[in-house]
């Protein structure tokens, strides 16, 4: 069974692979790899979101790392992108985030970052998996005097807030801006509200009282209905929703419309091009990005390059092509001018800055961007078969998909989720009725193959 997906290891807590024994071995494996590459005692930064299971995994990782002679620096609940920043600024050798992102609280996961702030390569992930599958790993362990220590870093949140503020022009403020923030009872429950208050905005918060069990529960980026209601009720200028680890942001305009990652990417790209700061006048997105958005970008003289779903693939393409802006429909937006990964807080302040600088409501900035209707369906893979087996079973549908694709103006996409045991179906078509009919037909065919 392959453990690493598109965003680290993830699963239901106290079920394989998210059991403390394996988590401890992940820490041991990472530390062992680092010791082969560096001449000093490894230093590894660990952050987490607000899930109750974070305590267990944090302790297991710490035990594994220190047992192999590495030092651990604990920062507590903090967004994933904060670890990407801190691992560089604190000169750490690696960073780990304990989070299952947008998943409900029974799930958790582990994401690993290199000392340059980027997610570790697939080579390192494969090496970790190899060690995890070796029953006699490690063959030797350090003596007592060579064990590592664990330290708690108290000012990590403040460091990250100051970093996000530094992405704006000096002395620029959000005075006169009224925002409602929904951090999904997750890792940014203190950070984003504090950030906007310190920048001068009037801030209203909802779902900012995590109890270990309520992360992502009918709130945040995946469930923005309460945020929409609050924005309209309070006559706010902007609504901001994160997921559990705040590497993504979905916005709500002053009229209550959802502004997803596709639209955010378009707004930001257009502004950067206007400032002559969009490298090669190109943005990187995924196969999920709406064709209507691609058409809009063309009118602005901006090229869109697509990758497979997963922010790691977006970043890989950005680095390969020398581009500085990319993202996903889900709200992961990466600007390499500031961060090495999707950063929800930076995305929020940058869009607010674009609004304030241009003196426009968010609805005005988005009015020219149209989208084709896009219908989505998720089908859970039965426990009796692996994701790889499911993909193989669905290969027979390729001819049918190609035939349907020729009959519509939009796009059809069937793909496995990179983070959950699910098959995702997407139908994009100008005619919603036609799209729905095709979606139902494909759903039935997929179920027949899997069940």
> 307-363: per-residue pLDDT in tens?
998 889 999 999 999 999 999 999 999 999 999 999 999 999 999 999 999 999 999
Task: Express as a percent the part of the chain with pLDDT over 70.
Answer: 100
pTM for the predicted model, two decimal places? 0.91
Is residue 409 predicted with pLDDT exceeding 80?
no
Res 396: pLDDT: 84
Strands 325-327 and 333-335: antiparallel
Res 314: pLDDT: 96
Active site members = 101
Structure tokens given for 383: 């426990």
Q: Greater confidence, 116 or 417?
A: 116
Is residue 166 predicted with pLDDT exceeding 90?
yes
- What average pLDDT does range 265-292 have in this prediction? 96
113-147 pLDDT, tens digit per residue, is: 999 999 999 999 999 999 999 999 999 999 999 99
371-392 pLDDT, tens digit per residue, is: 888 899 999 999 888 888 899 9
Res 1: pLDDT: 65
Is residue 60 predicted with pLDDT exceeding 80?
yes
Q: How confident is the model at residue 229 (pLDDT cuts 50, 70, 90)?
A: very high
Is residue 194 predicted with pLDDT exceeding 70?
yes
Res 72: pLDDT: 98
**Mean of per-residue pLDDT scores for the chain:** 95
């Amino acid at each position: 069974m392959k453990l690493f997906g598109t965003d680290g290891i993830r699963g239901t807590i106290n079920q394989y692979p998210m059991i403390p024994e394996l988590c401890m071995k992940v820490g041991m494996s990472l530390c062992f790899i680092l010791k082969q590459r560096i001449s000093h005692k490894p230093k590894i930064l660990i952050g987490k979101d607000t899930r109750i299971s974070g305590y267990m995994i944090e302790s297991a990782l710490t035990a594994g790392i220190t047992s192999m002679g590495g030092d651990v620096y604990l920062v507590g609940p903090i967004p994933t992108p904060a670890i990407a920043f801190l691992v560089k600024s604190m000169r750490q050798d690696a960073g780990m985030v304990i989070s299952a992102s947008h998943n409900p609280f029974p799930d958790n996961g582990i994401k690993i970052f290199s000392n340059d702030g980027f997610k570790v390569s697939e080579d390192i992930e494969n090496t970790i998996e190899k060690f995890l599958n070796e029953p006699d790993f490690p063959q030797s362990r350090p003596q007592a005097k060579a064990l590592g220590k664990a330290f708690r870093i108290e000012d990590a949140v403040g460091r990250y807030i100051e970093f996000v503020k530094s992405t704006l022009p000096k002395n620029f403020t959000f005075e006169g801006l009224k925002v409602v923030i929904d951090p999904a009872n997750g890792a940014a429950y203190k950070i984003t509200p504090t950030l906007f208050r310190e920048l001068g905005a009037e801030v209203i918060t909802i779902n900012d009282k995590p109890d270990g069990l309520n992360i992502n529960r009918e709130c945040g980026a995946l469930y923005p209905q309460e945020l929409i209601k609050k924005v309209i009720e309070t006559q706010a200028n902007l609504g901001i929703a994160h997921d559990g680890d705040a590497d993504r942001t979905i916005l709500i305009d002053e009229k209550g419309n959802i502004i997803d990652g596709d639209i955010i990417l378009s707004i930001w790209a257009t502004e950067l091009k206007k400032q002559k700061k969009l490298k090669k006048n190109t943005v990187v997105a995924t196969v999920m990005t709406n064709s209507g958005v691609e058409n809009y970008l063309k009118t602005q003289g901006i090229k869109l390059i697509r990758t497979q779903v997963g922010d790691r693939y977006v970043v890989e393409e950005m680095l390969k092509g020398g581009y500085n802006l990319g993202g996903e429909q889900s709200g992961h937006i990466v600007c390499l001018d500031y961060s090495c990964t999707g950063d929800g807080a930076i995305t929020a302040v940058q869009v607010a800055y674009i609004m304030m600088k241009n003196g426009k409501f968010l609805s005005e900035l988005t009015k020219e961007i149209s989208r084709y209707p896009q219908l989505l369906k998720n089908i859970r893979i039965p426990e009796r078969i692996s994701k790889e087996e499911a993909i193989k079973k669905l290969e027979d549908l390729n001819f049918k998909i190609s035939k349907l694709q020729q009959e519509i103006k939009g796009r059809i996409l069937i793909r496995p989720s990179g983070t959950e045991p699910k098959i995702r179906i997407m139908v994009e078509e100008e005619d919603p009725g036609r799209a729905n009919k095709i979606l139902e037909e494909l759903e039935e065919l997929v179920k027949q193959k899997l069940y």
